[in-house]
Amino acid sequence: MASLLAARRALRAGVERSRALSHALARAGPRLGEIRARLPPMEAAVRPIRAPRDALEGAGECVDRAVGPAAAVLKVFDAVHGLEPPLLAASAAADDLPGYLAVLSRLEEALHFLSDNCGIASQWLADIVEYLGDRSLADPRFVSDLAEALSHLKTPSANLDGGLLAAALDILEAEFRRLLTEHSAPLAMKEPNNSSDPGSITPPRIPASAVHKLSLILDRLAANGRLGTCTAAYADARGDTVSASLRALGLDYLHDPAEDAQVLTPNVEHWGRHLEFAVRHLLEAERKLCVAVFERRPEAASSCFAEIASRAGILDFLKFGRAICDARKDPIKLLRLLDVFDSLSKLRMDFNRLFGGKACVEIQTRTRELVKRVVDGSVEIFEELLVQVELQRNMPPPADGGVPRIVSFVAKYCNQLLGDPYRSVLTQVLVIHRSWRKETFNDKMLVDAVLNIVKALEANFEAWSKAYEDVTLSYLFMMNTHWHFFKHLKGTKMGEILGDEWLREHEQYKDYYSAVFLRESWGTLAPLLSREGIILFSKGRATARDLVKQRLKSFNANFDEMYQKQSAWIISDRDLQQKTCHLVVQAIVPVYRSFMQNYGPLVDQQDASANKYVKFTAEGLDKMLSTLFLPKPRRAGSFQIRHSNGKITSAMTGLYRSSSTLK
């Protein structure tokens, strides 16, 4: 029993030990898994210990040489990360632009350092990894993972800063636009005039402090490849501002020009003033502003200014000048073309200075084309004036004996061409045109050409006078026309050139035709009231009465006929009309009054037939004759032009419009 009990105790103790061992093994299983997992890294870690000593010593030197630059790169990365708060603050650039740019400069320097060193440091680290792998000094998987990570750092990337530089540049762009918007409001414009002071016309532009800020921002943005964005934003803001400022002056006429030179006249005057104002004040200021903002980038300044000038409408101004060249041919058009040329000539130096670069080639081309068309068009009209005046010789004169419109027009027109400012401008145009043909021209040739026009018009007088069937009307016409020439050219530039003798000849012609007209018309009535044969004694009283009746009847008939006919005639000049009427009255009324005083009673005694012979009183004749030759209202009209080929056209109808249309 004792032995059995001992065996039972031994078995029980063995079972308990087995259970304890089983529980211990169950608890040790996870720990064994952990140990198993740690074995490879531990093996890799202890591998260098098992490596040859000389290999480990060589690797240490290489590692030390690569870790230094890599540590420096990591420090710079840490510095870049520290710049994020000041650079990404919303109002940092607006509140302290110099400080913001200083921080941005530090970022750019850091990125420049990273760009130069990151690739080198990563290459050195890659060489060490390769060295360790070749000599089995590190775990292959670790070496492979490290090599893959380093491969992304071998080539410098724009994202080394994680997009911080791009975000900072976006903030600068926004500040650039804000400054432009804040200082680019349209100006409160007034219509410029010749007496305006340019200093008072152009108000202050962008303040110098804002210009300095724009220039600083532009430098940083341009250095980072954003110059194009800046120029576009600048051109948008300033171009729209100048355009809006000019529109306030009322430039609608630039876009819908008329085809008639006379209708264009007031717009041409506005055009010249507006163009000068736009070029010399607005665009001049914009050019200076561009140069100040794009100080170190002249090419960008030129291209930006060209865009501003285009948006401001400089091409619209040139297009309007082209429309004047395309207007219907008309002598008035010559004056308007000379106005255009004069405006362009005055601005020639300004155009060359402002629009001389490659960026403004379109403006240069359009300007040259306009100048050529203006010169060619002016010369064409001027050279045709003489031909047109000569062609009028075959046209009928005014039916009322008045001064033909062409006479009034040419007298005033030629005086304008030889006066200020057209004489010098026309001479300049003709000199340029002749130079293109390798010919010469001078002021004396211009004077001679205008004198030929006047002489051709004088030659027309005789031809027109012969066209009248009534010779007395031709006398009235010649009196009218010669007096008009004398009065409207005396004391003028044209009159000075023609000379006093030439003017006196026209005055003498007027006096001659006035005398002939009176003698051949109203002078024929006084002899009808002759006293010859009238005897008032008793034996001849009846005969005298018959003679008085006969002579009054003849006088009345001739007077009625002449008065009726000449009531449709006119004398254009008021003074000449009054003087001529006075001479007519003096030639008839005193004779009639005397005749009636002496012989009127012979007729008055016969009450039944008195009114048949005594139709007028002396006072009535005076009133009737004093109202003769008064100009009648004329309908607006023009003569026709006959070309040398015999065809009639209205291409230059303005040559015959009233001279009052000349400006």
Residue-wise pLDDT for 289-303, tens only, equals: 999 999 888 889 999
Out of 54-68, 269-283, 519-533, 638-652, pick the least confident.
638-652
Are 244 and 312 contacting, i.e. CB atoms less than 8 angstroms apart? no
Backbone angles phi, psi at 155, to 5 degrees: -100, 120
CA distance 206 to 288: 11
Task: State how far the Cα of 461 lies from the Cα of 438, in Å rounded to an integer.
Answer: 38
Whole-Å CA distances, 208 to 102, 179, 372, 502, 614: 21, 12, 41, 66, 96
Helix (H) or strand (E) holding 511: helix 500-520
Residue 663, pLDDT > 50, answer no
What integer pLDDT is reported at residue 32 of this predicted model? 65
Give residue 168's pLDDT band: very low, low, confident or very high (50, 70, 90): confident
| pLDDT of 529 higher than 50 | yes
* CA 398 from centre of chain: 43
Mean pLDDT of 548-574: 93
Most confident of 115-124, 140-149, 388-397: 388-397
Asked if 456 contacts 376 with a C-beta cutoff of 8 angstroms, the reply is no
What pLDDT score does 189 carry? 61
Give the length of the chain.
Answer: 663
Question: Residue 155 pLDDT > 50, yes or no?
Answer: yes
C-alpha to C-alpha distance for 396 and 416, rounded to whole angstroms: 27
Q: How many CB atoms lie within 10 A of CB 428?
A: 17
pLDDT value at residue 651: 36
Percent of the chain past pLDDT 70, that is, above it, reads 74
Question: Which one has a higher pLDDT value, 417 or 109?
Answer: 417
Looking at per-residue confidence, does 637 or 585 come out higher? Answer: 585
Q: What is the mean pLDDT of residues 227-249?
A: 89
Interacting residues of 445 by C-beta distance below 8 A, sequence separation 6+? 430
Q: Of all residues in the chain, what percent carry a pLDDT higher than 90?
A: 40
CA distance 428 to 444: 13
Range with the poorest average pLDDT among 99-103, 433-437, 508-512? 99-103
Q: Is 535 exposed, middle or buried (0-12, 13-18, 19+ CB in 10 A)?
A: exposed
Rounded to whole angstroms, how far apart are CA atoms 37 and 35? Answer: 5
Dig out the tokens for 223 from the structure.
Answer: 């250095």
CA-CA-CA-CA torsion for 322, 328, 331, 334, nearest 10 degrees? 10
Whether residue 311 contacts residue 241, with contact meaning beta carbons closer than 8 Å, is answered with no
Q: Tokens in use for 72?
A: 């420096």
Identify the pLDDT of residue 429. 95
52-66 per-position pLDDT tens digit = 555 555 555 556 555
The predicted pLDDT at position 154 comes to 56
- Whether 364 shows a pLDDT value over 50: the answer reads yes
CA distance 110 to 104: 10
Give the pLDDT confidence score for residue 649 in this predicted structure: 41
| Model pLDDT for residues 23-39, shown as the tens digit of each residue | 777 777 677 677 667 66
Pick from 423, 424, 392, 437: nearest CA to 410: 392
Question: For the chain, what is the radius of gyration of the CA atoms?
Answer: 53
pLDDT of residue 638 exceeding 80:
no
